[in-house]
Structure 1
Amino acid sequence: MVSSRFLRSGRCITYGLSVLLVLSVVFIFLDESKVSQIRQRLRINVTGSGSLMILGRVNQMLDGSEKVKVLQWSGQWVENFEVCDSSHPPASVVSYRLYSGKLPFVLYGVGNSEDESLYRKMSELSYRFSMKVDDFISMYLENYPRTTFVDIGASVGVTSLRMARKGHHVISVESDRENIRGLCMSVAENKVMENMTIVYHSVGIEDFTSVLPGEQKAEPHTITVDKVLSLSNRNVLVKIDTDGSEHTVILGSKLLLMSKRTRAIVIAWETHKGQKSGEDMLSLFNAWGFHPHAFRGSGSVRLDTKARTPSFWPSDVIFLPVE
């Protein structure tokens, strides 16, 4: 009995020493001097069990060993090498794991007030496009695997990353520079570079430059959704959440509603309830044979436009073509 206890005690000690040895090696490879340098240059806030992993990823990005492609339109699709330049990292890195499972993604901020805003944004996003919306998108892509998910107004990329992690082809479109930088790191963190195409653009009615001649261009110019669709030759499921300007995306498209490749369009409808923007979109959807549906579980149910006015529709509506 004594011998057995002694053996178990010896095994525990050996196991503990092995763990310490592994951790020591990990910290050596992290290059503690560089991590210290990063902490001085940035105010890095890492939370949760992925802290060590995130620090390692930051270390790699500063070395330029992780590269994520970001596309922009300039008469043709070209790669933007500056927006995700790892030599100019933002001021803080935050890692979250969402309620739907372990999905690490990165938010970039520039101070306490901005970080608090990002926290709120993350919470709003988690509820905004809730599980039932993502469940529908996931179910549809699983049933129709030759479909590309186009995420217009991807924000920090929660839905895009979820779908890419499941092996689906994703085009993630976002116009905010800080969100794009975070998305670059999140794509690398989740190892979905083969499944995701990142597009750094605003999407709206027509192409235009957002700054006057001679001024420094802070944001990319606006392109139509048709240019985004040119990146895929598959059928598409399109999600549009552009902070109240969803109608400009719809009104600016010639092919989105006309194309037989468009199999579903998810619209953030909250700001268009009872508004002219909603009426304009409904007229176009009706003309091209798309009917509104509400999400029910992982499926959908058609909305009756006569019995209930769009003013009482849910916050998110999916338009499906008449078969």
Structure 2
Amino acid sequence: MRPIKSKRCMLYGICMLLVFSLVFIFLDERKVSKIRQRLHINLTGSDSFFVLGRVNKMLNSRRTAEVLQWRGKWEKNSEVCDPARPPSSIVSYRLYSGKLPFVLYGVGNDEDEVLYRKMTELSYRFSMKVDDYISTYLDNHPSTTFIDIGASIGVTSLRMARKGHHVISVESEKDNVQGLCMSVAENSAMNHLSIVYHSVGNEDFTSVLPNKEKSSPHTISADKLFSLSNQNFLVKIDTAGCEHSVILGSKQLLMNKRTRGIVVAWETHKGQRSGEEMLSLFNIWGFNPHAFRGSGATRLDKKGQNPESWPSDVIWLPIE
């Protein structure tokens, strides 16, 4: 019986080796070692990332998504997404509904470091509870537009667009926009997602200059985004600690009756003046804070509970 067990163990080991070889077949040993060492806790579970391989040619050079910029009016930017420039990597994000491919740009000489940074940024900043709530809300309110301010490479945006919801994906980093252009096409979501290449906050003075004198992209207020749809809005703001600038720089975000909910990355504002300012504005305009519970939300106690103890992501819903 011992030889039989030994053979079974050997076959099992060979199978496991083949699996890992297929996942990392396009990566050299040094990079695999570094990424696996740093991401070992993220290589299992429903929100795991897997590098499917280096891409040496355009996935489909004739398909890129539409990119919009504000130049006194909304205009198409046909230069930021260059179909002749090959992407660096494809990352597959495992969701409950299957695999969702993403295209990453901006990987240079230190590609293992950049790839690690992008992957960990997504895995730590992205909350499945938030995503599930947004998905359920849009399913129940199909006439709602989802505005994703600070979309990064589009984890949440692409999932919602692939389900057929109308999405406005706002991102200021060029590499992310270029990757998102192709990711939209790869997910057959071109008819449902619009990319806005801007930072959002207090209006930049360059927004009123002639076209040739404008920086690219300049900062716009969130108010500009409302002209892109006549539907109600569900807004997510995740701008690396600048969420308060988005809210303070907008006159319509809180007072507009079409705003049906605002998801705010709250972690960096706990115990900070920015958090106090946002809390004051939400109170004035009649929004209550809620924590995500499964695919729903539970109201937080503003008086009996210290905002510093609130979860990392908070959704503010209007008082009906």
Describe the SS at the equivalent of 2:170: strand
| One-letter amino acid of the counterpart of residue 180, structure 2 | L
Per-residue Cα deviation, 1:146-167 (whole angstroms, up to 9, x for no partner): 0000000000001000000111
Q: Number of paired residues?
A: 269
Describe the SS at the equivalent of 1:280: helix
The answer to whether structure 1 residue 275 and structure 2 residue 267 are counterparts is no
| One-letter amino acid of the counterpart of residue 135, structure 2 | S
Aligned to 1:60: 60
With normalisation by structure 1, the TM-score equals 0.77
- Contact 2:51/2:92, CA 8 A, preserved across alignment: no
The answer to whether structure 1 residue 150 and structure 2 residue 139 are counterparts is no
Task: Compute the displacement of 1:209 (Å).
Answer: 3.7
Please list every run of 5 or more consecutive structure 2 residues that lacks an aligned counterpart in the other structure. Answer: 1-48
Aligned to 2:39: none
Whole-angstrom distance in 1 between the partners of 2:172 and 2:183: 16
Which is greater in Rg? Answer: 1
Aligned to 2:235: 238
Describe the SS at the equivalent of 1:96: strand
The answer to whether structure 1 residue 196 and structure 2 residue 193 are counterparts is yes
- Contact 2:100/2:159, CA 8 A, preserved across alignment: yes
For residue 71 of structure 2, the aligned residue among 56, 64, 74 is 74
Task: Compute the displacement of 1:48 (Å).
Answer: 6.5
- How much identity, in percent, do the aligned residues show? 68
Superposed, 1:1-323 pairs within 5 Å as: 58-61=58-61, 65-89=62-86, 92-100=88-96, 101-209=98-206, 219-323=216-320
Once the two structures are overlaid, the 10-residue window that deviates more, 164-173 or 115-124, is: 115-124
- Contact 1:109/1:115, CA 8 A, preserved across alignment: no
| One-letter amino acid of the counterpart of residue 271, structure 2 | G
Describe the SS at the equivalent of 2:137: helix
Whole-angstrom distance in 1 between the partners of 2:75 and 2:125: 32
| One-letter amino acid of the counterpart of residue 95, structure 1 | V
**In angstroms, what is the RMSD of aligned CA positions?**
2.5
Aligned to 1:29: none
| One-letter amino acid of the counterpart of residue 93, structure 1 | S
Whole-angstrom distance in 1 between the partners of 2:60 and 2:140: 37
Whole-angstrom distance in 2 between the partners of 1:115 and 1:136: 33
Please list every run of 5 or more consecutive structure 1 residues that lacks an aligned counterpart in the other structure. Answer: 1-46
Whole-angstrom distance in 1 between the partners of 2:213 and 2:134: 38
Task: Compute the displacement of 1:109 (Å).
Answer: 2.4
Task: Compute the displacement of 1:208 (Å).
Answer: 3.1
Task: Compute the displacement of 1:309 (Å).
Answer: 1.1
Task: Compute the displacement of 1:291 (Å).
Answer: 0.4
Task: Compute the displacement of 1:95 (Å).
Answer: 2.6
Task: Compute the displacement of 1:234 (Å).
Answer: 0.2
Task: Compute the displacement of 1:94 (Å).
Answer: 2.7
- Contact 1:177/1:219, CA 8 A, preserved across alignment: no
